[in-house]
Amino acid sequence: MRKLNVFPAAFLLISSLLAGCSASPASAQPQSASPSTQEYHEEVVIVGAGGAGLISGITALEAGQDVLIIEKMSFAGGATLLSEGYIAGGGSTFQKEKGIDDDPETIYQDLMKGGKEKNQEDLARLYAENMGAAFNWLTDDLHVPFTEASPLSYPEHTHDRVMVVDGGGSQYVQILKTKYEELGGRILYDTKAQELLTDAGKVIGIRAEDKAGEEILLYADAVLLATGGFGASPDLRPEGLEDVVFYGAVSSTGDGIKMAEKIGAQTLFMDTMKIYPQGLLNPQEKELTDEGALVRNGISCAIGSKQTTNTTGSIYVNLEGSRFINENTDFVSIKEAQLLQPEKKMFLVMDQAGYDAWYAYTSTVLSTELAEDWFQREGQPIFIRAESLSSAAEQAGIDPVKLTETVQHFNEMAKKGNDSDFGRELTGGIEGDTYYIIELKLRTATTLGGVKTNDAMQVLDTQNEVIPGLYAAGEIVGGANGVESMPSCMNAWSLVSARKAASTILENLNH
């Protein structure tokens, strides 16, 4: 570690940077000093100890390169820690051993289709061609334990390629962090990057602050931004998406995007967020961002919702009490259909068996105590349990007569085993003496826009020229997934882009 305390030259450098000029540390003359300023000289500084930061750190360390990660929180993980740990592993040995034949061209076509053909093509190619090898690295070198995802098949993927880390995102981060530290990697926690330092257009380091607001200057030959997305930053959220419930990481405030933009980086797709259906409004969860805004007010119950409509007769209806979609179709189609309904509202209607199937997969994020509290309360969230369907409908604000008709009709179709309305495979109807209605909100955690890079993960300016010394990986990079990422493709992107960024840095430093 090359750390120096008391750095008089740095003070002058920062003053000049704040004044809009850039200066080289060698040429800056000391005038005054802050005794608490710390200075580091490193070859590689990575900003962010989430999935992408840790993976690029491990990759660099495995190749013998020294690295330092700075992390603004007091712990590692970012959104990766919160994630369920689903990772697309198309083309991997693990997938092959399940008897599934996948190939980069098919993965590429799926990614493009999933991204509405808006994907940055070179990034999508990089992604498709390296997904399998990167996944193999996780299983073979890092011994990350995977199982096939359950429910296995996601309609967006033409081949079964979705795997899940045993133990989810927290276990995944634990393995990555342990490996990084075993290899001698260092992390400075509570250290928030504030600004990129430049010299004649080249990035030469980062100005950061510790928890007490003391300045830390980190000079480096290569700076890798792995700061994640911007869903938690109200000022960066696209217009019209303010009401979508947020269940992401409070650290996803787009810091890296803002810092890179300040020195001329190009961004793309900043007007998109990854919106999914099947969220729950959780009015009790009030996490604050650095800016003090209420950001985390939602829970995802996607897997439980998918499971209950797959295995029981549960249905989605709108405020009018009508079904409007095959409930077992892909997430994007459900979301798009929901957006067309009155007040953009969608409700899940279940009997006891349906609720049990839903809750079996939701209990990890919704305690029985909280669920009971919601059943008892009036107002938001709409979380109803009642002895009759019409009473449940009335409490939810849904037309009770129409809903009763809808359920009767659905039950008749279920008996015949033929959904003549939407072509869903039917596994039963809605019956018994207990009925549940839950409002499923649109939800978001992840953003798809960010800085533009080339396929070597070098950040590009507005003229599509490389900004020397600056690299990016993970959710901060826009483009690879287009405007609609497929399930499990954000963690996989983080993995592939981080491996690539580290190898580009290694190549550039060794030339």
Ligand X SMILES: Cc1cc2nc3c(=O)[nH]c(=O)nc-3n(C[C@H](O)[C@H](O)[C@H](O)COP(=O)(O)OP(=O)(O)OC[C@H]3O[C@@H](n4cnc5c(N)ncnc54)[C@H](O)[C@@H]3O)c2cc1C
Rule CB under 6 A: is residue 49 a binding residue for ligand X? yes
Contacts of 106 (CB under 8 A, 6+ apart): 90, 158, 159
Residue from 47, 124, 126, 407 touching ligand X (CB under 6 A): that is 47
Residue from 226, 268, 389, 495 touching ligand X (CB under 6 A): that is 226
Residue from 38, 406, 453, 491 touching ligand X (CB under 6 A): that is 491
CA 399 – CA 390 distance, rounded (Å): 8
- Within 10 angstroms of residue 70's Cβ, the number of other Cβ atoms is 24
Residue from 251, 278, 282, 406 touching ligand X (CB under 6 A): that is 251
User: CB under 8 Å, gap of 24 or more: what pairs does 105-109 form?
Assistant: 106/158, 106/159, 107/131, 107/161, 109/158
Which window, 57-65, 83-91, 317-325, 428-436, contacts ligand X (CB under 6 A)? Answer: 83-91
Residue from 39, 42, 255, 455 touching ligand X (CB under 6 A): that is 255
Which window, 4-12, 222-230, 275-283, 418-426, contacts ligand X (CB under 6 A)? Answer: 222-230
Rounded to a whole number of angstroms, the minimum distance from the CB of residue 295 to ligand X is: 11
Residue from 89, 91, 248, 313 touching ligand X (CB under 6 A): that is 248
Nearest CA-CA partner of 60 in 194, 184, 168, 171: 184
146-176: b (≥16 Cβ within 10 Å) or e = bebbeeeebebbebbbbbbbeebbeebbebb
Applying CB under 6 A, what is the total number of residues that bind ligand X? 42
| CA gyration radius, the chain | 25
Per-position x/- string for 97-126, each x denoting binding to ligand X as judged by CB under 6 A, each - no binding? ------------------------------
Give the nearer residue to ligand X in terms of CB position, either 323 or 443: 443
Angle at 311 between CA 309 and CA 313, to 5 degrees: 55
Give the nearer residue to ligand X in terms of CB position, either 87 or 407: 87
Give the nearer residue to ligand X in terms of CB position, either 72 or 385: 72
Rule CB under 6 A: is residue 494 a binding residue for ligand X? yes
Which window, 102-110, 302-310, 379-387, 490-498, contacts ligand X (CB under 6 A)? Answer: 490-498
Structure tokens at 417: 């085993």
Q: CB of 188 within 8 A of CB of 69? A: yes
Phi-psi region of 339 (alpha: psi -120 to 50; beta: other; left: phi over 0): alpha
Q: CB of 240 within 8 A of CB of 67? A: no
Which window, 51-59, 112-120, 123-131, 327-335, contacts ligand X (CB under 6 A)? Answer: 51-59
CA 12 – CA 22 distance, rounded (Å): 11
Per-position x/- string for 283-302, each x denoting binding to ligand X as judged by CB under 6 A, each - no binding? --------------------
Rule CB under 6 A: is residue 95 a binding residue for ligand X? no
- What does DSSP assign to residue 50? B
Give the nearer residue to ligand X in terms of CB position, either 494 or 504: 494
- CB-based closest residue to ligand X: 50
Query: Beta strand 298-300 with 273-281: parallel, antiparallel or unpaired?
Result: antiparallel
Please state the length of the chain: 511
> Where in 101-231 does DSSP place strands (E)?
146-148, 162-165, 186-188, 192-199, 202-209, 215-225
Residue from 73, 107, 112, 317 touching ligand X (CB under 6 A): that is 73
Rounded to a whole number of angstroms, the minimum distance from the CB of residue 98 to ligand X is: 19
Q: CB of 48 within 8 A of CB of 69? A: yes
Residue from 252, 278, 314, 453 touching ligand X (CB under 6 A): that is 252
Give the nearer residue to ligand X in terms of CB position, either 124 or 445: 445
Give the containing element (helix H, strand E) for 460.
Answer: strand 458-460
Residue carrying the six token digits 């029981």: 312
Per-position x/- string for 137-176, each x denoting binding to ligand X as judged by CB under 6 A, each - no binding? ----------------------------------------
Structure tokens at 421: 């309305």
Give the nearer residue to ligand X in terms of CB position, either 287 or 320: 287
Rounded to a whole number of angstroms, the minimum distance from the CB of residue 425 to ligand X is: 25
CA 457 – CA 452 distance, rounded (Å): 9
Rounded to a whole number of angstroms, the minimum distance from the CB of residue 396 to ligand X is: 26
Contacts of 384 (CB under 8 A, 6+ apart): 375, 392, 395, 396, 436, 437, 438
Window 353 to 392, contacts with ligand X (CB under 6 A) = none
CA 247 – CA 273 distance, rounded (Å): 13
Residue from 111, 134, 216, 249 touching ligand X (CB under 6 A): that is 249
Rule CB under 6 A: is residue 192 a binding residue for ligand X? yes
Rule CB under 6 A: is residue 84 a binding residue for ligand X? yes
Rule CB under 6 A: is residue 489 a binding residue for ligand X? yes
Residue from 59, 227, 312, 326 touching ligand X (CB under 6 A): that is 227
Rounded to a whole number of angstroms, the minimum distance from the CB of residue 483 to ligand X is: 15
Bridge partners of 211?
none
Per-position x/- string for 412-451, each x denoting binding to ligand X as judged by CB under 6 A, each - no binding? ---------------------------------xx-----
Contacts of 367 (CB under 8 A, 6+ apart): none
Window 458 to 487, contacts with ligand X (CB under 6 A) = 474-476
Residue numbers at the binding site for ligand X (CB under 6 A)? 47-53, 70-73, 77-80, 82-86, 192-193, 226-228, 247-249, 251-252, 255, 445-446, 474-476, 488-492, 494
